[in-house]
Amino acid sequence: MAQKKKAKPAKSKTSKKAPGKSVSSKAKGPKYVYDFGKKTDGDATQRNLLGGKGANLAEMAKIGLPVPPGFTITTDVCTYFYDNKKTYPKVLDEQMKQSVALMEKQLGKKLGDLKTPLLLSVRSGARDSMPGMMDTILNLGLNDETVEALTASSNNERFAWDCYRRFIQMYGDVVMGVQKLPSEDHDPFEATIEDFKKEIFPKEKGEVDDSRITASQMKELVNRFKQLVKKRSGRDFPTCPWQQLEGSVGAVFSSWMNDRAIVYRRKYGIPAEWGTAVNVQAMVFGNTGKKSGSGVGFTRDPASGEKVLYGEFLTDAQGEDVVAGVRTPRPVAKLKRVLPKPFKELVAVQKKLEKHFKDMQDFEFTIENEKLYMLQTRNGKRTGLAAVRIAAEMVKERLIDWKTAITRVPADQLDQVLAPVFDAKAQKAAAWLCKGLPAGPGAASGRICLNAERAVEAAKKSSVLLVRQETSPEDLRGMIAAEGILTARGGVSSHAALVARQMGKVCVCGAAELDVDYHAKTVKVAGKTFKEGDYMSINGTTGEVFAGEIKTAPSEIIQVLVEKKLDPKKSLAYQNFSKLMNWCEKATKMTVRTNADSPSQVANAVAFGATGIGLCRTEHMFFEGNRIDAMREMILAEDEPTRRKALKKLLPYQRRDFQGIFKALAGKPATIRLLDPPLHEFLPHDNQAQRDLAKKLGLPLAAIKRRVEDLHEFNPMLGHRGCRLGISYPEVTEMQAQAIFEAAILAKKAGIEVNPELMVPLVGFPRELELQVEVIHETAKKVFAAKGEKVKYLVGTMIEIPRAALVADEIAKTAQFFSFGTNDLTQTTMGMSRDDSGSFLPNYTELDILDANPFASVDQSGVGQLMEIAVKKGKSKRRGIKLGICGEHGGDPQSVKFCHKIGLNYVSCSPFRVPTARLAAAQAAVS
């Protein structure tokens, strides 16, 4: 492709140089350009090469849908572009000219022609959909001469000049960098339109529809846009169509590395090396009048999952008008009355798309003078609630099988299904303000922020509601930070709605009664004025907007499973969720346990399908009620007899706790970690609390201060904790083991099956574990002899320091199970403190040092390698060794899939993350 090459004047009836009439011989070299239309080169299997959009355009053309012809420039060119200082393969220019010539032949139009000009759209197309993150240009090929040709060929002057001003706006923004400045809240082109409308409609209040601007006024707007481009960029707007095409292709490739695309990729784990394809397609026009229009549709409701043709359209509009949210469109169902023939065709297309792709589709269409054209289809973004319903119902309809259904629900979206809703009484009592379109279900309350940058800052202190006239891709960071999103304009397929659904954000769009004033930093609605920082609440399920903060209530699924307040038969959401979980049960090879320290936590986790406890932190029990006093008495003891006296007080508390846990588990295994934190964590550090403790225990204040000072450590995470405490004070291990075994025997005598698993923390040397196991076995013998009853039990260890992983074969001689404590294993492997990493981790992900937060998702190439070593070495010495993970990573879908890959038997996570982990484990098993 030519670089910065000025076009020579054309000899034919074209205003500037365009590609030749035809190219008889094929361009040499690798194939970088794939055609679609009457001649189609690619298909849906070539997503990696053609991107999702290009592959599906080719597929739609192949199954006979009305697709305007065009071509796709492959992702290989994007890779070349970045590897070669933003230049192109030499053969690309010739291949593009061949494909443009093919389009010209099929349509009887020519790029740059002064009688029948061919106009093009240029769009990005990554392998995975990235809605609004990269750039689009429409109406390419227009200039001061071709716009007159378009006027003559269409017999519609206003339409031609409307196309021209749109082209200048898009090209000026995307290619020439005319974008809003940091000091501006509004796009400069949109600001120019708004100012112009105020001039020509001075008496109008509220929003004035663009369709009221006349042809002559459009010409004036084109001049103002050109002046804006010249003023902001210092360059004249280009007039050569081929130069315009070159600039557009380069801009789309460049947009792969724009800030919002990078932020989006990081959030959704899309590798930068994938690159984007570029799709060049013949324009069809939805803005030629009332018998034309553009729309976005879904084969099912993306918010609820209901099987209904869903979407919206605008008459006399181009596609970008619908998704940009500048005008609020009408529901697609109303198209039946406005344009019945295209509507009937659209219903047929809806059915054909689902039958062919076997998934809910999100499609774009244009109607030009009552003729329907399909511009795109892709698997539709949907809420977690919709994903579960669509998967369940498609199995019932025999479109897919249950194994496919498991893969259709993103595991990290399952949180949305469990997300709270507004408390019914609180919502009824709240001040109702207005109603918009429900675009992202759920409930959100937060402080109003009218700007993405301010939302990011405010979210550090409190919950935030991002309120905008309409959102654009530049608002992405603010959308990520906000609890919910509210817009005055736009519909259910606008940028705000699309991105909110994918992120699982609560969203209400098109609340037309809102008057958002960026300059005054106010929102006016229902006769009230809200300032930035005031509270507002939105119900993304109903579209309602309320003043102030509203109390929330649990989701239907939690009401059924945990609170037992809702009849399962009355909740469709629960029924679909239950089907999905049953399929997960059938598929999974790796079970899911929970991290729980109380019977109520165990009950919640078991209700969600947990198969046992993977981590019971015994130290949490010491902080309840008066127990802390006995614990402190033990710590302050200066000899073993005094320590044992204090431990005797703790014994019944621990025994009662374990008894309750065994009862709640009803035979499921319980991995109980012995005392882990350093002792100083149990002692008070402020003077008043130390005085109170001295008085309570009858000890001198100086003795307490001295003991606190003695226990002080410079690096407590690597200090006197875990098994090191048990080795220094074996009587502590003895007391805990006694409590566990006595509780197990009591439970067994009550007819409850028990499976205790005692876990020794922070082991790095085989001898450490041997010493602790001796104490545990000796205690078990004494308890069993005294009670005249035995229980089976296991003893194992946490693998949480690198040395333990490296000598796992030696440790496995004693340990009957390993549980990876990945929180500490990550800290000790990476030399990073989890509590202090917030000051630099964001920079590390920004600069691609790390792909993700290693404390949220397992660092597979570092920490993961140690885990693999430990698994391999452990199995080499003890073939049937039980293997699990109990760090917070146990609820992260990517980490769960990694654990499946390396052969763990179970993962363990907090109770409310159990469904997510179960789904991720099932997906790993069926993939």
Round to whole Å and give the CA distance between 259 and 517.
26
Round to whole Å and give the CA distance between 138 and 251.
13
Q: Are 745 and 783 in contact (CB under 8 A)?
A: yes
Round to whole Å and give the CA distance between 571 and 559.
10
Q: Cβ contacts of residue 266 below 8 Å, gap of 6+? A: 845, 852
CA nearest to 858, candidates 844, 871, 848, 868: 868
DSSP one-letter code for 110: B
Assess whether 886 carries a catalytic annotation: yes
Q: How far is CA 599 from CA 604, 605, 618, 628, 885, in A?
A: 9, 10, 13, 20, 21
Alpha helix locations (H) across 285-361? 319-324, 335-338, 340-357
Residue where the block lists tokens 């259709």: 408
Using DSSP's 3-state secondary structure scheme, residue 153 falls into: helix
What number of residues does the chain have? 927
Q: Are 314 and 334 in contact (CB under 8 A)?
A: no
Q: How far is CA 234 from CA 144, 237, 906, in A?
A: 20, 10, 62
Q: Tokens standing for 290? A: 């009332």
Considering 723, 886, 899, 909, which one is annotated as catalytic?
886
Per DSSP bridges, beta strands 293-298 and 310-315 are: antiparallel
Q: Tokens standing for 562? A: 């945990």
- C-alpha gyration radius of the chain: 33
Classify residue 155 as left (phi > 0), alpha (psi -120 to 50) or beta: left
Assess whether 909 carries a catalytic annotation: no
Q: Cβ contacts of residue 641 below 8 Å, gap of 6+? A: none
Q: Tokens standing for 717? A: 């995470």
**Which regions of 691-840 does DSSP assign to beta strands (E)?**
756-760, 794-799, 817-820
CA nearest to 900, candidates 925, 883, 919, 880: 925
CA nearest to 444, candidates 411, 416, 477: 416
Considering 78, 163, 449, 495, which one is annotated as catalytic?
495
Round to whole Å and give the CA distance between 89 and 77.
7
Strand (E) or helix (H) holding 70 = strand 70-73
Q: Which residues are catalytic?
A: 495, 886
